[in-house]
Amino acid sequence: MNRYIIQGILAMLFSSFLFSLMSAEAKVLMQTLPAMEVAFFRGFTMLLLLLPILIKSPLKSPKHKNGGWFFLLSRSITGGLSFIAFFYNIATISLGTATAFAQSMPLYIVLLSLIFLRERFNLGVICATIIGFGGILLICNPQVEGIGILNIIFGIISGLCMAIAFLNLRALKDYFNAWVAVFATGVAMSLITLAIWLCNIAPFNNAWAMPRGLEWLHIGLLGIFGTLGQHYLTRAYMLAPAGIVAPIDYTRLVFSIFLGILLGDSLPNLTTSVGIVLIVLAGIGVGLPILLADMKHCTKLSSSFRAKESTIPAKKPKKDS
């Protein structure tokens, strides 16, 4: 296997682990701080960490097109809303179930692409999407784990908004450098959470609590894990084809369930477990055509490279004078 593909897979695996650690840090902080305050610190610490890049790097390079501000605004707002919804669920239900809702993003991408982009998918992708939504229905059972209607609503928002953000990201790469979308999402997340707090909007109308002692350490780790997770996620997609590395991101569910249990979550019951498994299988099924195409392409490139190497004549050793 090509060493870049191996590096891409490892980068995605590390990214998934870092994002799980970020979620675990959020869970720890939410024991004493309101969810929206934690979401604000998640966005704000990321801005501070990315500020040196903002100062040194341009927004665009000569190869980029003019414009693209609508895509940037849409990406940042939907990405920020997705994180906020995800953080609400982290505070109120188990870490694994909250992550399962967020990981349903590929299913919404198929649905949105069918409705708005008029893209065509084969029968296998359609069946996988239906199975995935069946998994969402299983974990949406209000009698499971004390999941309420707000958890279901925010769970759907977290997956749907992230899908919209991802679709905007496809167009955004033609207009801006890669780090711009991450920075803009941090700005949107910080501003939206502040607006929610200032307007005292339910169900986020908790009083602001000033962090103390070790809470500042957890806030720092929250931002570091999230920013590094985003970095390695981007690196994974740069090193290897999307179809190969994207399924690796589902290890985030495994990490999140394990970390959630360490933090006091109960083991998922049978209904929730089946729902989570269906979402994972559906996500892999949706990406399977791309995975097979990318693997075939990589095999052809590897064979072509070896064939070229075999045709290069070996250098003759120099004779001793």
With beta carbons less than 8 A apart as the criterion, state whether 251 and 13 touch: yes
Q: Is residue 217 part of a domain?
A: yes
The model scores a pTM over 0.85: no
Residue 240 φ then ψ, to 5°: -135, 160
pLDDT at site 113 = 79
HSE, CB side, 13 Å, CA atoms: give it for residue 233: 20
User: Read out DSSP for 226-286?
Assistant: HHHHHHHHHHHHHHS-HHHHGGGGGHHHHHHHHHHHHTTPPPP-HHHHHHHHHHHHHHHHH
Q: Which CA distances in Å does 51 have to 55, 65, 140, 182?
A: 6, 24, 39, 11
pLDDT at site 75 = 87
d(C-alpha 229, C-alpha 49), whole Å? 13
Mean predicted confidence (pLDDT) in 23-51: 91
pLDDT at site 297 = 66
Q: Is residue 312 part of a domain?
A: no
Q: Which CA distances in Å does 26 have to 95, 131, 168, 193?
A: 10, 30, 27, 15
Residues 6+ apart with CB under 8 A from 46: 182, 183, 186, 189, 223, 226, 227, 230
Q: Is residue 136 part of a domain?
A: yes
Q: Is residue 285 part of a domain?
A: yes
Q: Is residue 244 part of a domain?
A: yes
pLDDT in tens, 160-198: 998 888 888 777 778 887 778 888 888 999 999 888 888
Residues 6+ apart with CB under 8 A from 50: 179, 182, 183, 186, 227
Mean predicted confidence (pLDDT) in 131-136: 85
Q: Is residue 271 part of a domain?
A: yes
pLDDT at site 132 = 83
Output the average pLDDT for the chain.
82
Q: Is residue 318 part of a domain?
A: no
Instruction: List the domain range (segments joined by +) for residue 154.
Output: 1-304
pLDDT in tens, 148-166: 888 889 999 999 998 888 8
What percentage of residues in the chain have a pLDDT greater than 90? Answer: 17
Higher pLDDT: 39 or 4? It is 39
Number of structural domains, the chain? 1
pLDDT in tens, 99-113: 988 888 888 888 887
Q: Is residue 313 part of a domain?
A: no
